[in-house]
Amino acid sequence: MPRCGSSADPSSAPVASRAVQSVATSIATSTKRLRDQAQSRSSSSSSSLASMWRDVQGSNNWRDLVKPLNSILRDEIVRYGEFVSACYKAFDLDSASKRYLNCKYGKRSMFEDVGIGNCGYEVTKYIYAAPGTETPRWIGYVAVASDEDEVRRLGRRDVLVTFRGTVTRAEWAANLMSALAPARLDPHDPRPDVKVESGFLSLYTSDESASRFSQGSCREQLLGELSRIITKHRDEELSITLAGHSMGSSLALLFGYDIAELGLNRSGRKSAIPTTVYSFAGPRVGNLGFKERCERLGVKVLRIVNIHDPVTKLPGVFLNENFRVLGGPWSCSCYAHVGIELALDFFKVRNPACVHDLETYIRLLKCPKLGKIEKNHGDQFGNWGLNFIHKAKELMRRENFDAWAWQDAARQVGNLVQSLGF
């Protein structure tokens, strides 16, 4: 009688061995097939982006790409949103730090330190802005697609400029100025009818105080760096992509207009370098004259907005593009959004903590089914909101942190939500 664990029939061992080998071979074949399919999909996606990148960057105003949202465009929006999110993750709000109100990390390591080290871009310059008479603080960065595999995937060498949104008290004050002023960015043709929000314009052009990290205004830093990059890559296919969240989207649009108005994207080239703005939760920036001028200059703007986000309805709650029928002198006083809108709806649960949050925008774009929110799904979005609140409370507990900014922001958004009935 065979012992426990031994084979009753020694001749069956080869059969069992062959069965195991057959299963192993089947698994290996299936694994290879799945790997090949994944590589094929990746290759197909890459080649598709390379072949249609101009459309994705808005050459045809995103015709047939927004409704329904094209998967390649969705991936690009998410990618640029994560580049903007890096600004928040890298901004130093520790008042005890030597890099307080600056970037926590060096240019060479920043992407890796914030978790996107394999992005294929390299940071070439940090950008600083001075709100009012305050000390300049880090507002964003310039980066260039440097990895040649990434350049081939994109179909061109992409020059990227990103801006974070409002964090400090002085920046909130700049946001709430809500008065139109002539942009006058072209010294040879001031165009007095082209007006922009004075707080954003001041943030973009002011150079009120010196900083050991920056020289010149936000505008001067940007124009100088972009000129350098365009000259360096003058013989290559380029794109200029500007991305920002909230206040940062306003700076992105101002810079896009400035580039086109000065002709920087056309200098020494047969055709203009495509200039595209990805605006996340952006407010209105200028008047109807500004909108029309941006369109005439070919600045492409994709506005990604939550339809319940009150910030996207400011400024110009009453005088805006919907009142163009007034005509005459009123048109100069009406604020107007620029570009094509991609409308998201993720606030049916009325959670004010996530209504304007960039991470929530990105999560919804990654998981579009979450946009169809049922009442019993509210807890999931509520948890995101609670996480946002906890982050805010943690910031307020830090020594010498100016809690007024967060309290005032909540008050402003809350009042607006109530007054407009969102």
Both tokens of residue 279?
Answer: 């605006």
DSSP 3-state assignment of 377? helix
Between 51 and 403, the more confident residue is: 51
pLDDT at res. 337: 95
pLDDT at res. 332: 66
Given a cut of 50, whether residue 161 has pLDDT beyond it is yes
Both tokens of residue 34?
Answer: 């799945």
pTM above 0.85, yes or no: no
Given a cut of 50, whether residue 409 has pLDDT beyond it is no
Tens of pLDDT, residues 233-259: 999 999 999 999 999 999 999 999 999
Q: Catalytic residue at 356?
A: yes
Q: Catalytic residue at 271?
A: no
Average pLDDT in the 356-371 region? 81
pLDDT at res. 374: 33
Q: Catalytic residue at 146?
A: no
**CA-to-CA distance for 253 and 276, rounded, in angstroms?**
9
Distance of CA 311 to the CA centre of its chain: 16
CATH code that applies to domain 60-420 = 3.40.50.1820
Tens of pLDDT, residues 332-351: 678 899 999 999 886 553 55
Cβ neighbors of 208 (< 8 A, separation 6 or more) are 130, 132, 133, 134
DSSP 3-state assignment of 114? coil
**CA-to-CA distance for 329 and 348, rounded, in angstroms?**
38
Both tokens of residue 222?
Answer: 């940007």
Choose, from 158, 258, 309, 402, the residue flagged as catalytic.
309
Choose, from 249, 279, 356, 402, the residue flagged as catalytic.
356
Specify the range with the lowest mean pLDDT, choosing from 28-32, 43-47, 315-319, 328-332: 43-47
**CA-to-CA distance for 42 and 51, rounded, in angstroms?**
14
What dihedral angle (degrees, nearest 10) is formed by the CA atoms of 352, 358, 360, 366? 160
Given a cut of 90, whether residue 79 has pLDDT beyond it is yes
- Is residue 309 a contact partner of residue 281, using CB atoms and an 8 Å limit? yes
Tens of pLDDT, residues 2-13: 444 444 454 444
The ranges assigned to domains in the chain are: 60-420
Starting at the edge strand found earlier in the chain, the sheet holding 137-145 runs 121-129, 137-145, 157-163, 238-245, 275-280, 300-306, 340-344
Choose, from 85, 214, 217, 246, the residue flagged as catalytic.
246
> What does each C-alpha distance from 200 to 30, 291, 312, 358, 360 come to in angstroms?
56, 15, 15, 20, 24
